[in-house]
Structure 1
Amino acid sequence: MSDYTFITTEEHFLLQDALKKNKQQLIKFGLIGFAVTLVVATIPQVYLYTHNNMGDADDSMLSYKNLWFWIWLMSFVIALIFSLIKLTDIRYWAIKKDLTALQKATLQAPMEAVYIENNDSQTNIMLAQNQKKRLYYWMRGALDGYRAGQEVEITYARYSRVIISINKL
């Protein structure tokens, strides 16, 4: 692995594009959280107030007047959003840090695994280096022709490990 060097203007635009895609994913997850909140906050209220008298409904744990209902609901929605972020491996904050630091590195290593995720919009590559396995991210869709066991040379952003360029050796 070489020392970190500065990112060129073209590479900066590639990282900005990756940041834009990650931001769209975060917005989508926020909208999912809002929709879940709306549904989960509305359905119990309708059921409570149509099947019980007003006093019993107001005293229920599922009443909108109960503080614990809102704490539980917001905790659930926040956990849902963060689990979606973790499952889809959003790199938003690391890419923002890369756009501030503007550092990249180059390394040569054999690929341990190659897999595509996020509806074929991202390829993840695991490289074995110095008895460590690290995951690197190709954010420009499916990367065809690369298989486990091949030796590659990649240039990547320092913090997010987003691959800027990749070449077979």
Structure 2
Amino acid sequence: MQDYSFMTTEEIFLLQDALKKNKRQITKFMLIGLTLVLIAAFVPQLFLKSRLTQEEVDQSLFSYKNAWFWTWLLTFVLVLIFALIKVTDVRYYTIKKDLTTLQKGQIQVPLETVYQGNNDMQTSFIVKKEGLKKKQRLFYWMRGRLNDFRAGQEVEIVYGRHSRVILSISKV
């Protein structure tokens, strides 16, 4: 069983900073989705209006008046936004949960894999430990690139209980 303790004020500020970064990522993805909606809504209309009559345009699948057009367009954009969030490891809701419960965990494990993500703004660590529920767990360092850690090194990780955002990491 994992032991959890309460976070210090400094650790709370670190999580709040990670939350701000995640909020920026989500906002960026929403703007990408909005841009795609605008492009997908207007470009076909311009193309159709130059080639067809207004009556034919109104009956087209790409017409503003067609409910299926809006259904597939909004579905596509929502799926795209959630796919971007999943691919980039946005931890917004779990960080908020950590800031509510204020609990942190601490483990001492060997690193299995270390990799950079989100344009080198995040370092992710995969650890393997028999005592954990899952054999492998993924932990996130949200404050940039960490080059000092390699696979196989024994480390001590202090992390947010739900988000697994690393509050501090040190070699043992």
TM-score normalised per structure 1? 0.98
Q: Distance in 2 between matches of 1:167 and 1:145?
A: 10
- Show the counterpart of 2:137: 134
Equivalent pairs counted in the alignment come to 169
Equivalent residues in 2 for 1:6-155 (5 A)?
6-130=6-130, 132-155=135-158
- Which amino acid in 1 is paired with 2:147? D
Q: Distance in 2 between matches of 1:64 and 1:50?
A: 16
Q: Distance in 2 between matches of 1:110 and 1:49?
A: 62
State the secondary structure of the residue aligned to 1:90: coil
Measured against aligned partners, the alpha-carbon deviations of 1:25-49 in whole angstroms (never above 9, x if no partner) come to 0000000000000000000111112
Q: Distance in 1 between matches of 2:108 and 2:158?
A: 9
- Show the counterpart of 2:164: 161
State the secondary structure of the residue aligned to 1:32: helix
State the secondary structure of the residue aligned to 1:34: helix
Q: Distance in 2 between matches of 1:159 and 1:87?
A: 19
Q: Equivalent pairs: percent with the same residue?
A: 58
- Which runs of 5 or more residues in structure 1 are unaligned? none
- Which amino acid in 2 is paired with 1:52? L
RMSD: 0.9
